[in-house]
Amino acid sequence: MSSLDTLIQDLVIANRILAKEDVVDAYGHVSVRHPDNPKHFFISRSLAPELIERDDIVELDLAGEPVREERRSLYLERFIHAGVYELRPDVMAVVHAHAEDILPFGIAKATELRPVIHSGSFIGSSVPVWDIADKFGDTNVLVTNMAQARDLGKCLSQNNVALMRGHGFASAGRSLIEVVRMSVYLPRNARALMRARQLGGEIKYLSQGEIDARNRGYSAYSPETWRAWEYWATKAGCGHMLSKPDEKHEHGKK
């Protein structure tokens, strides 16, 4: 397979992992930027992530429009992805989802979502909450155009995750593997914090130094990172689709 084929295969895997790990259900989506053309990205047509196959992947531009004629329906909220890729050249992959246990942090004002467990460190030290109503008033709460997407992107700013009030979250990573991992541990970190608050007393968050140290040590294809990707893919029934980076390289040579 060419490296582009492998990337699209990885995008299929990412969709299935997010479904299996309860980050997405019928709704929610993940995209990856075109490695050779930063103004394009790949995402599925409108379909539940668990059901996605290679042929469902489409190529969109930074206006959220398909670059080839496309008669199939597209995700209404594909603009979220376009908006983040436009504003953040460093971002290579984006997830938008409604994972249940992050929702309360976008609804209740008293508790800020911050990392309390080591696997939650990648959400970053600050997770802003974006409220579509602040700028756009009464909407259907969905991000359905570039103006809304850019406003969300502005709120996300240089952070890795933004909560969307009454709706879900958008997360941005340097690779598919990173953004999937971040999105899987985001609700787990949220649950740990919720329950710690119920136990009462002072909460011990990860320190900025700890978050920085973890970030410095992160590598998309380290044995530790790969271990989770391999495991989650296997659980999601697509272990046979996995291709390790070195294998990708060899395949790319053919």
The residues assigned a catalytic role are 77
Q: Which of residues 29-68 bind its own copies (CB under 8 A)?
A: 46-48, 50-51
Asked if 15 and 30 count as a contact pair (C-beta separation under 8 A), the reply is yes
Whether the Cβ atoms of residue 111 and residue 193 lie closer than 8 Å to each other: yes
Piece in contact with its own copies (CB under 8 A), picked from 55-63, 172-180, 223-231, 246-254: 223-231
For residues 121-140, which are near its own copies according to CB under 8 A?
Answer: 121, 131, 133, 137-140
**Are 73 and 45 in contact, with CB atoms under 8 Å apart?**
yes
Query: Quick one: 35 or 166, whose CB is closer to its own copies?
Result: 166
d(CA 225, CA 102): 23
Among 163, 192, 236, 238, binds its own copies (CB under 8 A): 192
Of 1, 3, 5, 27, which one interacts with its own copies (CB under 8 A)? 27
Three-state DSSP string of 27-76:
CCEEEEECCCCCCEEEEECCCCHHHCCHHHEEEEECCCCECCCCCCCCCC
Name the helix (H) or strand (E) containing 129: strand 129-130
User: Residues 6 or more apart from 187 whose CB is under 8 A from it?
Assistant: 22, 23, 99, 100, 101, 102
Part of the chain binding its own copies (CB under 8 A), chosen from 57-65, 84-92, 193-201, 246-254 = 193-201
Tokens found for residue 31: 């995209």
How far is it, in rounded angstroms, from Cα 180 to Cα 167? 19
Q: Work out whether 221 is an interface residue with its own copies (CB under 8 A).
A: no
Q: Minimum CB separation from its own copies for residue 89, in Å?
A: 27
Ranges within 228-247 binding its own copies (CB under 8 A) = 228, 230-232, 234-235
Minimum distance from CB of 204 to its own copies (Å)?
A: 5
**Region 93-122 residues binding its own copies, contact defined as CB under 8 A:** 98, 100-101, 103-111, 116-119, 121
Stretch of 7-15, 23-31, 154-162, 244-252 contacting its own copies, by CB under 8 A = 23-31
Identity of the residue, 1 or 27, whose beta carbon is nearer to its own copies in the bound complex = 27
